[in-house]
């Protein structure tokens, strides 16, 4: 490996080499994970963003796919709180929960599977004609069943990018310190 002093260069290492493995381990895993493009926020190994336009629930689902992700639903109280921060003060956002009206009584599916975590507002769900689920930051992140045709932003999610397991590259600054992954 030839190093050029006094200039920024790219350092590529094989992570299994012990000495470089130690160096790589000194950089936190969180810093090594990245989210694509502007607006995506990293949270626990996944990237989240709101669609930039309001739309029906179904269009929101398509918009998430077109950004390489999928519409997301919180799976825990902690993730629900993150959705609240993503929605911003007063925000109302579509989440990937929808009632299957083909089932008697309507079965709630979140991200395509039967919902295990829910956070209904008092009195909700309250209307058989409201099949989609809206999370309201202004109501402490509680959920409301809503008509799917209403226009709101949707929460999209995708996995954060990880560097290759075998070869990882870092930018090295003039002072010899690692600047970041390249």
CA distance 101 to 122: 22
Both tokens of 49, joined, read 């963003």
Edge-to-edge strands of the sheet including 113-114? 113-114, 107-110, 92-100, 132-136, 142-146
CA distance 93 to 70: 14
Applying CB under 5 A, among 83, 110, 137, 145 the residue interacting with Ca ion is 145
Of 47-55, 77-85, 142-150, 168-176, the window that binds Ca ion (rule: CB under 5 A) is 142-150
Cβ pair 63, 54 in contact under 8 A: no
Minimal distance in Å, beta carbon 123 to Ca ion? 8
Of 12-20, 38-46, 83-91, 127-135, the window that binds Ca ion (rule: CB under 5 A) is 127-135
For Ca ion, what does the binding mask look like between residues 87 and 126, x meaning CB under 5 A?
A: ---------------------------------------x
Q: Does 147 bind Ca ion (CB under 5 A)?
A: no
Q: Does 130 bind Ca ion (CB under 5 A)?
A: yes
The H or E element that residue 20 is part of is helix 18-25
Minimal distance in Å, beta carbon 119 to Ca ion? 14
Cβ pair 162, 45 in contact under 8 A: no
Of 24-32, 101-109, 130-138, 173-181, the window that binds Ca ion (rule: CB under 5 A) is 130-138
Minimal distance in Å, beta carbon 121 to Ca ion? 8
CA distance 16 to 164: 12
Contact positions vs Ca ion (CB under 5 A): 126-127, 130, 144-145
């Amino acid at each position: 490996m030839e190093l050029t002093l006094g200039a920024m260069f790219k350092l590529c290492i094989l992570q299994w080499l012990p000495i470089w493995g130690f160096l790589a381990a000194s950089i936190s895993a969180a810093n090594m994970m990245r989210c694509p493009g502007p607006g995506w926020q990293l949270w626990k190994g996944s990237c989240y963003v709101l669609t930039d336009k309001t739309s029906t629930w179904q269009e929101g689902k398509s918009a998430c796919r077109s950004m390489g992700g999928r519409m997301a639903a919180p799976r825990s109280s902690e993730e629900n709180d993150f959705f609240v921060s993503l929605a911003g003060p007063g925000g109302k956002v579509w989440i990937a929960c929808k009632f299957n009206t083909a089932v008697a009584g309507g079965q709630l599916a979140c991200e395509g599977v039967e919902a295990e975590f829910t956070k209904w507002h008092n009195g909700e769900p309250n209307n058989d004609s409201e099949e989609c689920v809206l999370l309201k930051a202004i109501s402490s992140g509680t959920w409301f069943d809503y008509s799917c045709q209403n226009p709101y932003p949707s929460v999209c999610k995708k996995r954060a990018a990880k560097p290759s397991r075998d070869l990882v590259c870092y930018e090295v600054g003039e002072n010899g310190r690692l600047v970041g992954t390249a």
